[in-house]
Homo-oligomer: A and B are copies of this chain.
Amino acid sequence: MEKTVGELATFLDGEVVGNADTIITGINGITEAREGDLTFIANPKYMQYLETTAASAVIVSRDVTSSGKTLITVDNPYLAFAKALTVMTAKEMEYFGVSAGAEVHPDAVVDPEVAIYPLVYVGRSAQIRKKAVLYPGVYIGEEARVGEESILYPSVTLMDRCVVGNRVIIHAGTVIGSDGFGFAPDGTGHMKIPQVGIVQIDDDVEIGSNCSIDRAAMGVTWIKRGVIMDNLVQVGHNVVIDEDSIVVAQVGISGSTQVGKNVILAGQAGLVGHIKIGDGAIVTAQAGISRDVESGEAVSGTPHMPHRKWLRVMNVVPRLPEMRRELKQLAQRIEALEKGKKGEGEKR
């Protein structure tokens, strides 16, 4: 895609310092950029590259008002760069309909303006809405639904009756709606509890690759609007993740746990079942959460504690051998004092 600096500045709500007619044909990092590229500086420590970059234009904050380079000045250079990147790299999607090599059940309801690649399976009574894209190897179960402009990458599995909203992105290999882990001891072994609920994924959610999101035992496992989830995440049955929360790679969330809005669950954290994580809480990497976390709290460790406390505790942990030695030495010194005292007593 090709745009002038002026067009981009208008799109980014920015102002041009320099030549608005400069043609931008690409976009790249400040040190990698070449002629024709747009780049950005969000972190002041990169200002040193402003005059030396080969880029034809640079997005900077509004306090930069002159340069040998053509500038686009904006409120938030990183966000503006993300927007520019989005528009410059947008692929013209072709909604070619249903490929000959796809297997779509005759009772499925498929909008004509979709892209269903070869080797996709769409089951009975499934619904595929306008501008949905299903890559090869995708499986859509019976009565499942994929909303408008949603993209399911290769080998995504959406089991029967599960629902994906609009503008959802699901990366390759992710499984939505596998059975929840429910068993009742029956005297000899474990009897499977049928998992008859669904998974509901609301609008504007992005889910990474090779995640597993289990269907509810009854009712709904629910990923709400704006949640972003990284790769290899485990979500148990009947979990609810509220709006705009961030779930980093390899996190595990056990059954029926409720995660609030704007929560951050960092990498490899584990949450037991049936607890609540309050809005805006932060769970740091590898933490093991076994009880409720209050709104706005930051917690770390297994079992978890407030993050600031954890930092202090972890500062002491490497000193444990030394503390143990000190403790022994103090005991000896006390013993010496006690003996001395006793000796004194005896002396008297």
Contacts and interface: CB of A to CB of B under 8 A. Distances in A.
A324 to B, nearest CB: 5
9 contacts: A86-B191, A137-B157, A155-B157, A173-B173, A190-B246, A212-B249, A252-B268, A315-B321, A337-B341
A196 B37 CA distance: 14
Contacts of A296: none
Interface string A265-299: 00110101000000000000110101000000000
This chain: copies in complex: 3
A319 interface: yes
B118 A139 contact: no
Contact of A212 (B29, B232, B317): B232
A175 B172 contact: yes
Given A103-B118, A137-B157, A327-B327, 19 more contacts: A78-B184, A82-B192, A85-B196, A117-B121, A119-B137, A153-B178, A154-B175, A155-B173, A175-B231, A179-B208, A189-B243, A190-B226, A209-B212, A210-B212, A231-B234, A252-B267, A317-B320, A323-B327, A330-B330
A286 B283 CA distance: 15
A154 B172 contact: no
A228 B183 contact: yes
Given A86-B192, A186-B79, A333-B334, A139 B137 contact: yes
Interface in A152-174: 153-155, 157, 159, 169, 171-174
A152 to B, nearest CB: 12
Given A172-B178, A321-B316, A210 B210 contact: yes
B340 A341 contact: yes
Contacts of A248: 181
A4 interface: no
Given A244-B189, A250-B234, A320-B316, A157 B181 contact: no
A302 to B, nearest CB: 5
A103 B121 CA distance: 14
Interface stretch (A14-22, A45-53, A55-63, A306-314): A306-314
A214 interface: yes
Contacts of A192: 82, 86, 169, 206
A136 interface: yes
B82 A103 contact: no
A173 B327 contact: no
